[in-house]
Amino acid sequence: MVAAASSGDRFVLAVDLGTGGPKVALVGPDGRIAAHAHRQVATRLLPGGGAEQDPGEWWEAIVAAAGEVLASSAGAARSVAGLGCTAQWSGTVACDAEGAPLRPAVIWMDSRGAGAIREQTDGLVSVLGYDVRKLWRWVRLTGGAPGHSGKDPTAHILWIRRSEPDLYAATHVFLEPVDWLTHRLTGRFAASFDSIVAHWVTDNRRIGDVRYDETLLSMAGLERAKLPELVPSGTVVGTLRPEAAAALGLDPGLPVATGTGDVHSAAVGSGAVADFAGHLYIGTSSWISCHVPFKKTDALRNVASIPSALPGRYLVADEHETAGACLGFLAGTLLSGDDGLGPATPPEDVYRRLDDVAASVAPGAGRTLFTPWLNGERSPVDDHTIRGGFHNLSLSTTRRDLVRAVYEGVAYNSRWLLGAVERFVGRPLDPIAFVGGGARSEVWAQIHADVLGRRVRQVAEPVLANVRGAGLLTWLALGELGAGEIGSRVEVRRTFEPDPAPKAVYDDLYGRFVELYKRTKSLHRRLNGGDGHEAAAPPAGTPPAQGHAAQGAALP
């Protein structure tokens, strides 16, 4: 935790509810983070593709982290001018009329609704599994459509209705995780123009007047009465109610800004807020994004521009399911475990050690390839049955090669996505701001610069990009910061230039990487449920990436 500021300074209390747990920080209008704390929460992976978390545990962790932050100096609580939240996006909390969760939250990794959403989107005349008339309306109004992976909130809600009909009937409202936090703070059931997007039931053509569309609701199979009201992005949604104020140790009545998803807050926290200014985020998942002045969709590559957290702006949306989680899998499953084959848990400095090992191996990892699709993929292919692996192993392959291959495999996946994003925006993204826990690694930053052929700007304190973004958005909502000033509030620690020496090696292996997907996708579909057989799942209670160490806070 960073030492708190001196008396007289003003801050907002910002919350970033990541998959691995919340970060809470005091953020000044200059973007400076005066104090921050982190707590972990558990994820349960369930048979059939389930992934759930306990909202009660979210709140307890937030209260504990906020207490640590506000205890950092005697006047910290009195310095707070407002609150703002960001959270893991594309999740679902089923609530009663008081906002109490009726079941564990279904998070963005959960694919149990895949069958239900495929049935909902199909029709007599289909393209890519979508009824052509439905697809046309979805794309025209929203910029996208419910993914067939089953990981969007619409699929979550359809799965609950099918599997837990009594609970569905008892549900007063379904909320995104960040909107559940907004209710916990203010008592208001509300979603922002940007937080609601992944439901694919809003008309986003008029960026300042996003509304639910009755036809889209019918196409998705959702009830308007079970969804929250909509409020503009970048505004004050309410004030801190007494119960929440008492738990957090703050005065009631403080303004609370509209919440936003992690994709949106990362863009702001990266400082890359001008149109076509790109950023790469690597946490548990990853994405490459930028703001654009238009609404557009590339349905083939699962890339679209959607309402941004910045009022009146659009943001490119895409996602890789697992990125930093691949390092967590390497550290927590292949290099350790409770099976007696090695240490039970990774050492505390495991990610520094992995960095050192990766740096000691020549580019190309002895032509060992790692495909990082450990939980399916979303962009540039929407494929929930594809799986990862090591390829081209031989008796001469070393453990060091495997480590380097994981770093490079994630970078090849980033290059695959970058090609789709640059086609989408019609220009190269250079430089690219690098944020998230993965951006702490200078080795990974250089590998990405070399594989992408782009300058990579490592943002200072990159693991705090989301909570910084939430803080800056709160100052924006309070009217004390302009959108055009945000870029100057974010410090760049170092710029990594592409090294031309390994270009030929990386160009060749990248081609083989994409070829591996094309040649194995049908096999993985047969192995993992595409032909009617249910995919195998980890035992109930198994945390992804061994407690999400790769989520960001523990990355070097």
pLDDT, tens digit (0-9, with 9 covering 90-100), for 226-271: 999 999 999 999 999 999 999 999 999 999 999 999 999 999 999 9
Q: Is the pLDDT of residue 7 over 80?
A: no
Of the candidates 126, 169, 167, 178, the one whose C-alpha atom is nearest the C-alpha of residue 148 is: 126
Peptide bond into 293 cis (omega under 30): no
Pairing assessment for the beta strands 456-459 and 492-496 based on DSSP bridges:
antiparallel
Residue pLDDT, tens place only, 310-334: 999 999 999 999 999 999 999 999 8
Q: Tell me how crowded residue 404 is: count the other CB atoms within 10 A of its CB.
A: 26
Tokens, residue 523: 């096999």
DSSP structural state of residue 487: G
pLDDT digit string (tens) for 104-159? Answer: 999 999 999 999 999 999 998 988 889 999 999 999 999 989 988 899 999 999 99
Percent of the chain with pLDDT over 70: 94
Please enumerate in sequence order all residues whose Cβ is within 8 A of that of 393, keeping only pairs 6 or more positions apart, or say none: 368
Query: How many whole angstroms separate alpha carbon 14 and alpha carbon 32?
Result: 12
Structure tokens at 44: 């349960």
Amino acid at 116: A
Provide the b/e sequence for 221-242 (b: ≥16 CB within 10 Å): bbeeebbbebbbbbbbbbbbbe
- 3-class DSSP state of 190: strand
For residues 134 and 144, the answer to whether their CB atoms sit within 8 Å is no
Residues in the chain, overall count? 556
Q: Would you say 320 and 379 are in contact if contact means Cβ atoms under 8 Å apart?
A: yes
Amino acid letter at 245?
A
For residues 534 and 528, give the distance between their C-alpha atoms in angstroms, rounded to a whole number: 6
| pTM exceeding the 0.85 threshold for the entire prediction | yes
